[in-house]
Amino acid sequence: MDRYEIRLSGAGGQGAILAGIILADAITKADKFNVAQTQSYGPEARGGASKAEVIVSEKVIAYPKVTKADFLLALTDSALKKYLPDLKKTGSLLIDEEVFIQDKDLLPKEVIKIPIFKIARDQVGKIITANMVALGAMTALFDFIDKGEIEKVIAKRVPTDTVELNLEAFSAGYRFIVE
């Protein structure tokens, strides 16, 4: 893999940055890729725009930021509007089924709409786990991510009393894609 650019976006407090950190950490365990992870969020923090970027390559990563994303996760309408123009036409877009697509001309070849927030609320019981539902779906979609490594990193990175809940949400998102 020459260079694969992933952007996870949403509103502050939705956990896109945590999901990006977990994703990058798990990919590094494979020892066959170089990985760079960056993040940013608006001054409002909770509720403002947030994004995490993960660059994956078998080569040295000279620039650690997304220039033209291969994959975009957009958890909100505003994140989609802001970051869709930076997604390659040959890329993939993962969005919640409720996210409104304003500019259909910018859509890539692959659009995956799943009920991220509904799964988090109805199956897991906590809407705050939507980031883990999305991470589970992403893991099922990517062939270069080891599911077991992601689960280990989730257990290491989330608060101890929420490990089981986060793993349940991750599994629910993964199952939605593979079943």
Q: Letter for the amino acid at 67? A: T
- For 148-165, write each residue's pLDDT tens digit: 999 999 999 999 999 999
Domains and CATH numbers, the chain: 4-178 (3.40.920.10)
- For 23-66, write each residue's pLDDT tens digit: 999 999 878 899 999 998 765 455 667 899 999 999 999 999 99
What mean pLDDT comes out for the span 8-37?
93
Q: DSSP characters for 68-124? A: SEEEEEE-SHHHHHHHGGGEEEEEEEEEETT---S-GGG--SEEEEE-HHHIIIIII
Residue 115 scores a pLDDT above 70 = yes
Sheet holding 4-11, edge to edge: 34-41, 49-57, 4-11, 69-74, 87-96, 110-114
Q: How confident is the model at residue 8 (pLDDT cuts 50, 70, 90)?
A: very high
Better pLDDT: 46 or 145: 145
Distance between CA 59 and CA 83 in Å, rounded?
A: 26
What mean pLDDT comes out for the span 91-100?
95
Residue 100 CB contacts under 8 Å (≥ 6 apart), including other chains: 77, 80
Distance between CA 69 and CA 171 in Å, rounded?
A: 25
Residue 138 scores a pLDDT above 90 = yes
Q: Are 14 and 75 in contact (CB under 8 A)?
A: yes
CB atoms within 10 A of CB 163: 15
Residue 31 CB contacts under 8 Å (≥ 6 apart), including other chains: none
- In this prediction, residue 80 carries a pLDDT of 94
Q: How confident is the model at residue 121 (pLDDT cuts 50, 70, 90)?
A: very high
